[in-house]
Amino acid sequence: MSQPIRATEVRTSPWPAGTVLTRLAFVAAPNELAETCAAQLTRRYGNVPVEEAEVVVCLGGDGFMLETLHTVLHRDIPVYGINCGSVGFLMNPLCEDDLPERLVRTQAAVLHPLRMHAVTHSGLVEEALALNDVFLFRQTRQAAKIQIVVDGRVRLEELVCDGILISTPAGSTAYNLSAHGPIVPLSSDLLPLTPISAFRPRRWRGALLPSSADVEFKIIEVDKRPVAAVADFTEVRDVVSVAISEDRSLRTVVLFDPDQSLSERILVEQFTV
């Protein structure tokens, strides 16, 4: 088994020039445009099951792309997104012509997920993976109180807030950005840690952690101030502690047209006003 590629690595095409890709799997979001495009592409290029594919072509928006990446996370099959949704930050423009040839020329971004280990008030232990972020949020009208531990050391004794999140570099332009967290390049090997509506300490704006960091959130006054934790699509209610670390044993590969690389998009986003 080869050594896992670092989470922030961006590389050229996974295939040498001249490769002919014949096994494409098309998956479509449940909307008219995506389903119509999938049918047209299937007629032109065929369609194989995901587990037999050289490339999975995902038609939809960023949300459906995230679902697809979770589906192939344990298969190590690259995914190429075609925007049939709204924002399409992780997607490429819609173009049906010469798709196999264009796929060979793509650039690959290799990402590793965050692994969440959550313990609930009842003692239940839940694990989930996140390619975007893991965030905690208050369940009631009262603010949450959260202690932050990094690599076994208490870094913030008590954060009074609506919540807190930790994101991957690829996810730093999603919820993290909306919460006024920093955008980080794929090459940075950093994980943004961002408070959500912090009340005390009011001036704390978060931190940038190395991707090797082990982070734990401990909930204070769990009975009075219940908190939920979310890792991409998995929500766990009434948590008492949540541990998060990057899982280097898993990876997903996202393909982008040569002029549409994820690193370039993240850079452009930092200059968007």
Return binding residues for NAD(+).
62-63, 132-133, 162, 170, 173-178
Task: Quote the Cα angle for 158-161-167, to 5°.
Answer: 95
**How crowded is residue 32: how many other Cβ atoms within 10 Å of its Cβ?**
10
Cβ pair 153, 234 in contact under 8 A: no
Return binding residues.
62-63, 132-133, 162, 170, 173-178
In angstroms, rounded to a whole number, what is the distance separating the alpha carbons of residues 174 and 265?
13
Q: Which helix (H) or strand (E) holds 210?
A: strand 207-210
In angstroms, rounded to a whole number, what is the distance separating the alpha carbons of residues 68 and 63?
9
Respond yes or no: is residue 189 known to be catalytic: no
Q: Which residue of the set 62, 98, 238, 247 is catalytic?
A: 62
Cβ pair 56, 50 in contact under 8 A: yes
One-letter amino acid at 194 equals T
How far apart, in Å, are the Cα atoms of 267 and each of 170, 207, 271? Answer: 11, 20, 7
Known catalytic residues are 62
